[in-house]
């Protein structure tokens, strides 16, 4: 089905291509979509510039050091968890062997 429809005060063009319906924005809706896109890109560029201008490298360096420190602490936790898991595994094996001995 090909035609024009008015939906929420915006004109939507509907086209069918081999049974697949596609909608195209026309007029005011398309202009609003383009404005949002341009504003988003502009805002992103401005924020990046301000981040760099006000010493973003220093923040990233400090963040990197804290992240590195957190990684070292996490490695220690990982080692402790692995040791505890190994201990529990050995205990379960011993208990399993004892149960096998008692069951004929």
pLDDT in tens, the chain (104 residues): 444 444 444 445 555 555 555 566 567 777 888 899 999 999 999 999 999 898 888 888 888 899 999 999 999 999 999 999 999 999 999 888 888 888 86
Task: Give yes or no for a contact between 24 and 15, defined as CB atoms under 8 angstroms apart.
Answer: yes
User: Percent of the chain having pLDDT more than 90?
Assistant: 40
The per-residue pLDDT for 20 is 57
pTM for the predicted model, two decimal places: 0.43
Rounded alpha-carbon distances, angstroms, from residue 95 to 13, 24, 36, 83, 87? 72, 69, 66, 18, 12
Which stretches of 17-55 are DSSP H helices? 28-53
Q: Return the domain boundaries, the chain.
A: 1-54, 57-104
The per-residue pLDDT for 6 is 46
User: Helix, strand, coil % (nearest 5) of the chain?
Assistant: 70, 20, 10
Backbone CA torsion sign across 84, 85, 90, 95: positive
């Amino acid at each position: 089905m090909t035609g024009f429809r008015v939906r929420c005060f915006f004109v939507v063009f509907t086209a069918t291509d081999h049974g697949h319906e596609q909608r195209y924005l026309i007029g005011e809706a398309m202009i609003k979509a383009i404005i949002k896109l341009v504003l988003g890109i502009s805002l992103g560029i401005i924020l990046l510039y301000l981040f760099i201008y006000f010493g973003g490298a220093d923040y990233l360096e400090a963040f990197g050091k804290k992240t590195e420190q957190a990684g070292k602490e996490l490695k220690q936790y990982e080692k402790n968890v692995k040791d505890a898991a190994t201990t529990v595994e050995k205990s379960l094996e011993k208990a399993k062997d004892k149960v096998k001995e008692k069951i004929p």
